[in-house]
Amino acid sequence: NAGVTQTPKFQVLKTGQSMTLQCAQDMNHNSMYWYRQDPGMGLRLIYYSASEGTTDKGEVPNGYNVSRLNKREFSLRLESAAPSQTSVYFCASSETGNYGYTFGSGTRLTVV
Amino acid sequence: SQQGEEDPQALSIQEGENATMNCSYKTSINNLQWYRQNSGRGLVHLILIRSNEREKHSGRLRVTLDTSKKSSSLLITASRAADTASYFCATDETGGFKTIFGAGTRLFVKA
């Protein structure tokens, strides 16, 4: 099925551990995004990539790094996980000019 | 900081009734979008309205935009239990690149 695929769907980490969240889209979109969603809040932008080869910080980038591996893939890395990073993470993609985002189904991350 | 703020935070209605959700924002925008999120799932794009448009329809959805008041509304007519979800507005700021999401309205439609 066409769309945005995120892996893993669930993850539990211990404080200080590292991990990479994977995201791939097959719609040939130029732009990709990582958001986090916390209870009672909207989505907050962590990082985005306007096009292959570029990445920029969003609203809450501290503690995260990203890699736009190619046009299809955009990964999010937590180098040293903290309990404050417990959240649901969503990857999204869009065409340039943003006619609407396509979201993945999310990764539920718990840091203990 | 959040650009869009939805009102109400939660809404409970009977099946068949209409549901209206409002969104206010703070800066000039290129467009405004509405998304739906079912529990435990990703967001699904519903409709996009551009800053030079005042009203847009898609099936049972009607969206209005008032740029002078910096507000938008989403109307779902003849609601169904399957419409139970959270609804988010999102704005693209003029001159900006990122889309900013509000905190959402939780809609519960009782069968």
- Side-chain-facing half-sphere of A76: CA atoms under 13 Å: 34
C-alpha B74/C-alpha B78 separation (Å) is: 13
Cβ proximity of B100 and B90 under 8 Å? yes
Q: Which residues of B touch A58 (CB under 8 A)?
A: 98
Q: How confident is the model at residue A1 (pLDDT cuts 50, 70, 90)?
A: low
pLDDT recorded at residue B99? 83
Nearest residue to A46 (alpha-carbon basis) of A82, A88, A1, A9: A88
C-alpha A53/C-alpha B50 separation (Å) is: 29
The mean predicted confidence, pLDDT, of chain A is 93
C-alpha A8/C-alpha A20 separation (Å) is: 9
List, for residues B51-92, the tens digit of each pLDDT value. Answer: 999 999 999 999 999 999 999 999 999 999 999 999 999 998
List, for residues A27-57, the tens digit of each pLDDT value. Answer: 999 999 999 999 877 899 999 998 899 999 9
Residues A68-73 have a mean pLDDT of 95
Interface of B with A (CB under 8 A): 2, 4, 31, 33, 35, 40-45, 48, 88, 90, 92, 97-104
Task: Specify whether the backbone of A9 is left (phi greater than 0), alpha (psi in -120 to 50) or beta.
Answer: alpha
pLDDT recorded at residue B62? 98
Identify the residue with better confidence: A100 or A105.
A105
What φ, ψ does residue B51 adopt, rounded to 5°?
-65, -20
Identify the residue with better confidence: A21 or B5.
A21
Beta carbons of B101 and A43 less than 8 Å apart: yes
Cβ proximity of A47 and A63 under 8 Å? no
Which of A95-109, B20-34, B50-64 tops mean pLDDT?
B50-64
Q: Which residues of A touch B53 (CB under 8 A)?
A: none
pLDDT recorded at residue B1? 42
